[in-house]
Structures are given as C-alpha cells and as structure tokens.
Amino acid sequence: MVVNALSVDVEDWFQVGAFEKVIDRRDWDTLEHRVEANTDKVLALFEAGNVKATFFTLGWVAERYPALMRRIVEAGHEIASHGWDHQRVFTMGPEQFRADLARARATIEDASGAKVTGYRAPSFSIDTRTPWAHQVLAEEGYLYSSSVAPIRHDHYGWTDAPRGAHRPVADADLIEMPITIAKVGGKEVTTGGGFFRLLPGSIVSTAVSAANRDARPAIFYFHPWEIDPGQPRVANAPLKSKLRHYARLGAMAGKLKTLIAGHQWGRMDEIVAREAERLQ
C-alpha cells in the first residue's frame, strides 16, 4: 500500500490568516496560549492511531515551548519549519524570506535537538508571486517543501503548478510536495484544514484513495487548534473568517481518527525519500 504524508501545521488559534487583520502580532503574547495543550492532544491521537507524522512548526512557538518540540521528536515524529511567525512568503522579498527561514530553523533545531530539512509556507504562500522562493529554499539546504496548493482560493493557490512531487529548481535536490486536491461538485479544494472539517470525510478519503491508485502519496494537513472547540472567539472578525475558523471544531477529532484508520500514513521526510528515488 502507498504510504501517505500526515502533517500538522503547529500554530495557535490567533496566528491564522483568517484573523491577521483583526489581531495584531504585537498582542500575541497577551492572548491565551492553547497550542501546547492542543498539540499534546494531537500527539495522543497519533499514538492511539499508531501513526507518525510531520509537525511544521512556527519558530515563534518553538521559542516559547521547547519542551513541546522535544516531546514531538521523542515520540518519533519529524519536526519541520513553518517559518517564524506565519508571515506569508509573498509579503516578503528574497532576503527577508531567507532571514525568516534562518531564524525559524535555528530556533526549532535548538529547541527540539533535531535537524530541520522540510518547510511549509504559511497559508501555502509560495505561488506565481514568489518565483524566487524555491531557489532560496534550495540554497538554504532544504530537502523538501510542501508549500504549494495547486488550486484557486481567495487566500492562496497556484493553479498551474504540478499536482505531484517535482523538483522546482534545476540541478537542486529540493522536492516540492504540493498538497493533495479533492473535487467537490466540480470545484477543487485542498484535502485538509477547514475543507476537511466542513465537508464529509469521505470526500478526502476518496481523494487519498485516488492518489494511491495512481501510485502517488497523498499529502494531508491540519492544525492543532482545529480539535479545540473551546478556544476563544474573535468577535470582531469578518463573518466569513469566523465561519471558516470555528465551524465543526467539535467534529474534527473524530473525523481525523476515521481518516487515519482508513489509510497508511507516515512522516513527510520518509515519503520525500521515496519520491526522490522515483524522480531520479
């Protein structure tokens, strides 16, 4: 059976793109932090399901919760980078992006004691606006990125990007692992996050099976805050943002258990190693 990539974007409830215009980054440390407890719940869920995964972690979180980083690694999971503080790549220039990568990687490695070789851009923000981003990642020695969503979305998307693993930089080892796409009534959506919460779980399961029938691994993601229905509510957020963020939080853990039980899952670095052999 094909092994699929199970991944977690480790960020707190107030660090999401949906709230970036109503919650000031300077206020983050004054808000209730729930990322440690929620990530521990994810670790317990994975232990119960006997699966390993990759945790794409913000440097900001690693700096404040180094013991959590060590618990992730000690449980046999991969630790990877989600950038420093969830700043979208297309809001930066090449050198600012390079600095963001360096700061996050150094902090995550110091906190976890593990080497970081993978990266996921916040909000899948590597797209046509950042033609230099993969080159910078290659120059910085990353083995893989999972930063592209090959769909059209109001927050992200690179519709013309390849749908499977590929090498985006000539003569470099870097492999891009785009998020897997599902189809819903003719519309394409990502197989994770809010879409997974809002839609029947069978839609994502079908997309995973379809990728596997083509001998391709599926790439699935979610966030620790998505299994936390008791998190604070942001009253002044736009209605659309609130619907996306809070809908069906109570159903998420159960849906995850069902999805995990229905397919084979593993760490991103292990799946990337197999894809690298195929791409030679």
At 91-115, the pLDDT tens digits run 999 999 999 999 999 999 999 999 9
Radius of gyration from C-alpha coordinates of the chain? 17
Is residue 106 within a helix (H) or strand (E), and if so which, with residue range? helix 94-112
Q: List the one residue out of 217, 214, 151, 156 whose CA is nearest residue 183.
A: 151
DSSP assignment, residue 50?
T
Q: What confidence tier does 159 reach under pLDDT thresholds 50, 70, 90?
A: confident
Q: Cβ distance 280 to 225 under 8 Å?
A: no
pLDDT band for 228, please (50, 70, 90 cuts). very high
Using alpha carbons, select from 158, 149, 154 the residue that is nearest to residue 180.
149
Closest to 83 (Cα-Cα) out of 180, 178, 9: 9
Cβ atoms of 62 and 114 within 8 Å: the answer is: no
70, 86 Cβ separation under 8 angstroms: no
CB 252 within 8 A of CB 225: no
What number is the average pLDDT over the span 258-277? 97
Residue 209 has pLDDT above 90, yes or no: yes
pLDDT over 90 at 262, yes or no: yes
**pLDDT of 89 above 70:** yes
Does residue 155 register a pLDDT over 80?
no
The reported pLDDT for the residue numbered 152 is 73
CA distance 139 to 114: 20
Q: What is the pLDDT of residue 185?
A: 84
Across the range 182-209, mean pLDDT stands at 91
Query: pLDDT-based confidence at 154, cuts 50/70/90?
Result: low
Distance CA 86, CA 121 (A): 8
Sequence letter at residue 257: K
Percent of the chain with pLDDT over 70: 99
pLDDT at position 253 over 70: yes
Model-level pTM greater than 0.75? Answer: yes
Among the listed residues 45, 103, 53, 49, the one whose alpha carbon sits nearest the alpha carbon of residue 73 = 53
What's the rounded Cα separation, in Å, for the pair 55 and 6? 9
Which of the two residues, 244 and 209, has the higher pLDDT score? 209
